[in-house]
Structure 1
Amino acid sequence: MGASERFDQYLSHLFEGLGHAARHAGLRGYCTGLMLPLTRKSVEPMAARVDPLHASARHQSLHHFVAKAEWSDREMLRRVCQWVVPQMDFSRGGWWIIDDTGFPKKGKHSVGVARQYCGMLGKQDNCQVAVSVSLACDQGSVPVAWQLYLPEDWAADPKRRAQAGVPEELRFATKTQIALAQLRTLLAEGAPHHCVLADAGYGVDTAFRRALSDMGLEYAVGVTSAVVVWPPGVEPLPPKPYSGTGRPPVMPRRTARLQPMSVKELALSLPAQAFHTISWREGTHEPLSGRFAALRVRHAGGNAGKARLRPLQWLLIEWPAGDAEPSKYVLSTLPEDTPINELVSAAHQCWRIERDDQDLKQDFGLGHYEGRGWRGFHHHAALSIAAYAFLMAERLIADKPVGGKKNFIERQVPALPKDYIPRGSPARAAARGALDHDTAAQPELRTARPPRTVSLLWRSKQKLIL
Structure 2
Amino acid sequence: MGHADRAEPLKDYCLGLLMPVERKSVEPLAAVTAPSRVSAKHQSLLHFVGQAPWSDEALMGRVRDWVLPRIERRGAIRAWIVDDTGFPKKGKHSVGVARQYCGQLGKQDCSATIGERPRSHVDCRAAQDNCQVAVSLSVANDTASLPIAYRLYLPQAWADDPERRKKANVPGDVVFQTKPQIALEQIKAAKARGVAPGVILADAGYGADGGFRAGLSALDQTYAVGVQPTLSVWRPGEGPLPPKPWSGRGRPPSRIVRNSDHKPISAKALAKELPAEAWRTVAWREGSNTELSSRFAAVRLRPASRDYNRPEAHAEEWLLIERPKDEVEPTKYWLSTLSADTPIDHLVDMAKLRWHIERDYQELKQELGLGHYEGRGWRGFHHHASLCIAAYGLLISVRETIPPSASPQTQGRQASGLPGGYQPRGSADPARTPCPQLNPNSATTPHRRPSQSASTMSMLHPDHAQYPSISHFMTQ
TM-score normalized with structure 1 length: 0.80
Read off the aligned partner of 1:100 and give its amino acid letter. D
Aligned in 2, Cα 1:242/1:214: closer, same or farther, shift over 3 Å? farther
Q: Give the aligned partner of residue 367 of structure 1.
A: 371
Read off the aligned partner of 2:47 and give its amino acid letter. H
Tell me if the contact between 1:237 and 1:254 (Cα under 8 Å) persists in the aligned partners: yes
Q: Give the aligned partner of residue 376 of structure 1.
A: 380
Aligned in 2, Cα 1:242/1:176: closer, same or farther, shift over 3 Å? farther
Which of 378, 387, 392 is the matching residue for 1:388? 392
Read off the aligned partner of 1:108 and give its amino acid letter. K
CA distance in 1 between counterparts of 2:139 and 2:56 reads: 17
Q: Give the aligned partner of residue 129 of structure 2.
A: 125
Q: What are the superposed Cα offsets for residues 78-137 of structure 1, whole Å, 9 maximum, x if unpaired?
A: 111011100123755510000000000111110000110001113111100000000000
Tell me how many residue pairs correspond in the alignment.
Answer: 388
SS in 1 for 2:302: strand
Q: Give the aligned partner of residue 185 of structure 1.
A: 189
Aligned in 2, Cα 1:144/1:243: closer, same or farther, shift over 3 Å? farther
SS in 1 for 2:100: strand
Which of 77, 87, 99 is the matching residue for 1:103? 87
The aligned runs of 1:66-465 (5 Å cut-off) are 66-89=49-72, 91=75, 93-121=77-105, 122=107, 123-241=127-245, 249-302=253-306, 307=310, 308-396=312-400, 398=401, 400-401=402-403, 454=405, 456=407
Tell me if the contact between 2:204 and 2:226 (Cα under 8 Å) persists in the aligned partners: yes
CA distance in 2 between counterparts of 1:188 and 1:23 reads: 29
What is the CA RMSD across the aligned residues, in angstroms? 1.8
CA distance in 2 between counterparts of 1:191 and 1:72 reads: 19
Aligned in 2, Cα 1:274/1:371: closer, same or farther, shift over 3 Å? same
Give the C-alpha shift of residue 239 in structure 1: 1.7
Read off the aligned partner of 2:291 and give its amino acid letter. P
Aligned in 2, Cα 1:242/1:83: closer, same or farther, shift over 3 Å? farther
Tell me if the contact between 2:319 and 2:336 (Cα under 8 Å) persists in the aligned partners: yes
Q: Which moved more, 1:112-121 or 1:237-246?
A: 237-246
Tell me if the contact between 2:284 and 2:352 (Cα under 8 Å) persists in the aligned partners: yes
SS in 1 for 2:67: helix
CA distance in 1 between counterparts of 2:248 and 2:50 reads: 61
SS in 2 for 1:52: coil
Which of 16, 34, 40 is the matching residue for 1:51? 34
Tell me if the contact between 1:80 and 1:386 (Cα under 8 Å) persists in the aligned partners: yes
Give the C-alpha shift of residue 74 in structure 1: 1.1
Q: What are the superposed Cα offsets for residues 376-413 of structure 1, whole Å, 9 maximum, x if unpaired?
A: 000000000100110101124x2x25xxxxxxxxxxxx
Aligned in 2, Cα 1:313/1:75: closer, same or farther, shift over 3 Å? same
CA distance in 1 between counterparts of 2:251 and 2:395 reads: 57
CA distance in 2 between counterparts of 1:351 and 1:38 reads: 27
Read off the aligned partner of 1:22 and give its amino acid letter. D
Greater relative contact order, per chain length (Cα 8 Å cut-off, separation 6+): 1
**In the alignment, is residue 26 of structure 1 matched against residue 24 of structure 2?**
no
Q: Give the aligned partner of residue 427 of structure 1.
A: none
- Percent of aligned pairs sharing the same letter: 54
Aligned in 2, Cα 1:82/1:272: closer, same or farther, shift over 3 Å? same
Q: What are the superposed Cα offsets for residues 45-83 of structure 1, whole Å, 9 maximum, x if unpaired?
A: 110110100110000000000001010111111111011
Tell me if the contact between 1:260 and 1:305 (Cα under 8 Å) persists in the aligned partners: no
SS in 1 for 2:12: helix
Tell me if the contact between 2:77 and 2:139 (Cα under 8 Å) persists in the aligned partners: no
Aligned in 2, Cα 1:23/1:372: closer, same or farther, shift over 3 Å? same
Give the C-alpha shift of residue 252 in structure 1: 2.4
Q: Which segments of 5 or more consecutive residues in structure 1 lack a partner in the other structure?
A: 1-17, 402-452, 460-466
Give the C-alpha shift of residue 192 in structure 1: 3.2
Q: Which moved more, 1:231-240 or 1:367-376?
A: 231-240
SS in 1 for 2:36: helix
CA distance in 2 between counterparts of 1:190 and 1:45 reads: 38
SS in 2 for 1:147: strand
CA distance in 2 between counterparts of 1:178 and 1:235 reads: 32
**In the alignment, is residue 42 of structure 1 matched against residue 46 of structure 2?**
no
Give the C-alpha shift of residue 320 in structure 1: 1.1
Give the C-alpha shift of residue 271 in structure 1: 1.2
Q: Which moved more, 1:239-248 or 1:313-322?
A: 239-248
SS in 2 for 1:378: helix
Tell me if the contact between 2:318 and 2:336 (Cα under 8 Å) persists in the aligned partners: yes
CA distance in 2 between counterparts of 1:34 and 1:135 reads: 22
